[in-house]
Amino acid sequence: MAGRYKNRAKADQLNKDGGYKNVVLFHPVDDFNVLAKPTPSGTPASGESLEITDDHTFTGTGNGFYSYLCEQETVTIKGKTVDKQMEWEAEFTLLGDSSSTQEQMQDHLDDQNVWLLKDSDCKTTDTYVQLGDECKQPKVEVTFDGANQASGLKKYTVKLTAKNCKYWYKGTVTLHS
């Protein structure tokens, strides 16, 4: 893949501010009308193999990406090498607890969803980070901390682990309503 290397200067230091917006989006992988994928050209530019420019589409009234409002400054992504592939780990925290929240958290443990995260510098970046594709979706781990009356808030912390399925989504996001 030598043809995809390019020089990297200060102008290429994009999206360098830490963190992601405190809203994460997701949708079950088997409920898309079209789950778009990268379509690199014959002589792809650097990065094209990971960019999705067509829209993810849905059918059905009000169907679209679900949205979770997270605790401020908790959404993050880390990556490491496992067996010569990148393994990405996203984490975010949801405040509060209820039967609906608990049920959704339990469902996530065994569901296959595609996730979108927005860079914290959302005024200048035109892409979402996407974890998951039609073949692979992140595994989910959930922890809960009920805190105590002296201090703290009840929190669900969700960890997504995705191997080799992180993309840059530039298409339209249709929201569930």
- Least spacing, CB of residue 57 vs another protein, in Å: 4
- Binding range to another protein, per CB under 8 A, among 51-59, 80-88, 103-111, 154-162: 51-59
For residues 119 and 60, give the distance between their C-alpha atoms in angstroms, rounded to a whole number: 29
- Which one among 93, 113, 127, 130 touches another protein, defined by CB under 8 A? 127
Kindly tell me which residue out of 139, 154, 159, 170 binds another protein, with binding defined by CB under 8 A: 170
176 φ, ψ (degrees, to nearest 5): -70, 140
| 3-state class (DSSP) for residue 87 | strand
* 102 vs 172, beta carbon nearer another protein: 172
Enumerate residues 6+ apart whose C-beta is below 8 A from 23.
67, 68, 69, 70, 118
Residues composing the chain: 177
**Number of chain positions touching another protein (CB under 8 A):** 27
In the complex, minimum distance from the CB of residue 54 to another protein, in angstroms, rounded to a whole number: 5
**Residue 59 near another protein by CB under 8 A:** yes
The sign one gets for the Cα dihedral 142, 80, 76, 162 is negative
Q: Is 125 in the site for another protein (CB under 8 A)?
A: yes
Minimum distance from CB of 15 to another protein (Å)? 12
Residue 164 near residue 97, CB atoms below 8 Å: no
For the CB of residue 160, give the shortest distance to another protein in the complex, in Å: 21
**Counting contacts by CB under 8 A, is residue 104 touching another protein?**
no
| 85-123 burial code (b ≥16 CB/10 A, e <16) | eebbbbbbbbeebeeebeebbeebeeeebbbbbbbbeee
Q: Which residues contribute to the site for another protein (CB under 8 A)?
A: 33-34, 36, 53-55, 57-59, 61-62, 64, 118, 122-128, 170-175, 177
